[in-house]
Amino acid sequence: MAEPTPHAGADPVALRTSPLAHLAERMRAAAVTGARGVTLTERPFLTMVNLRVGPASDAARRVEEALGAALPRQCGHTAASGPHTVIWLGPDEWLVLSGADGTALTAGLREALGADPGSAVDVSANRTTLELSGPAARQVLEKGCPLDLHPRAFGPGRAVTTTVGPVAVLLWQTGDDPAYRLLPRASFADYLARWLIDAMSEYRGPEVP
């Protein structure tokens, strides 16, 4: 009989390691307080479900009922209901972010789709989530993001696919303090976190007139 492995019978959820666990202390140490403050944290293991469905279909209507929120119809728009936030990715594609169980959410969306064309795929392991917040958060992003992030063009509730430095991300502004969530592919998360830590460092010193 084979010897049991050290993790035999262990809960696989308890064994997960986030893509940025090894940088947690560096991110904490990089935090800046005060009028030019900015902090960076990882929000790991959020449920993410990629949803494809025709926006004018009966299936889309059933999906909206299941989520309790209308599917956004324009680039940059989001919709929220309870634990779910739905982000527009394309004319017939959305990313559902949630604090709910990924297996149950995916199953519920597939049930709502029924036999109609469409798909709901749990992609939670594909990305991680970085949260950048504080008075200087926008200035940090502006060092390497081509978007116009001024409040007149990009504000709370807006989310688009863009780049920060050389890394492709889904950028979502969640608050007006300001606060942003950046969703990179897990394999690029280390590079992005280090880039942001470096970009934050100048705000420790006084502002140069």
pLDDT of res. 207 = 72
Compute the distance between CA of residue 51 and CA of residue 91 in angstroms, rounded to an integer: 11
Compute the distance between CA of residue 87 and CA of residue 167 in angstroms, rounded to an integer: 19
Compute the distance between CA of residue 121 and CA of residue 126 in angstroms, rounded to an integer: 11
Domain boundary among 95, 125, 155: 125
- The yes-or-no verdict on residue 9 having pLDDT over 70 is no
Contact between 203 and 140 under an 8 Å Cβ cutoff? The reply is yes
Averaged pLDDT for residues 67-85: 97
Residues 141 and 186 in one domain: yes
Q: Strand ranges (DSSP E) for the chain?
A: 39-42, 47-52, 78-81, 84-90, 93-98, 119-122, 130-133, 159-164, 167-175, 179-184
Give the CATH number of the domain where residue 172 resides.
3.30.1360.120
Give the CATH number of the domain where residue 62 resides.
3.30.70.1520
pLDDT of res. 14 = 66
Domain boundary among 73, 91, 125: 125
In percent, the amount of the chain with pLDDT more than 70 equals 92
At residue 177 the predicted structure's pLDDT band, cuts being 50, 70 and 90, is confident
pLDDT of res. 125 = 95
pLDDT of res. 114 = 97
Six token digits for residue 178: 């300001």
Residues 110 and 140 in one domain: no
pLDDT of res. 10 = 58
Measured CA to CA in angstroms, residue 153 lies from 113, 130, 149 at distances of: 34, 22, 6
33-71: pLDDT as tens digits? 999 999 999 999 999 999 999 999 999 999 999 999 999
DSSP class of 150: S
At residue 4 the predicted structure's pLDDT band, cuts being 50, 70 and 90, is low
Query: Is there a domain that residue 208 lies in?
Result: no
Residues 109 and 59 in one domain: yes
- The yes-or-no verdict on residue 12 having pLDDT over 70 is no
Tell me the residue range of the domain where 64 lies.
47-125
pLDDT of res. 26 = 98
> Nearest CA to 48 among 170, 161, 167?
170
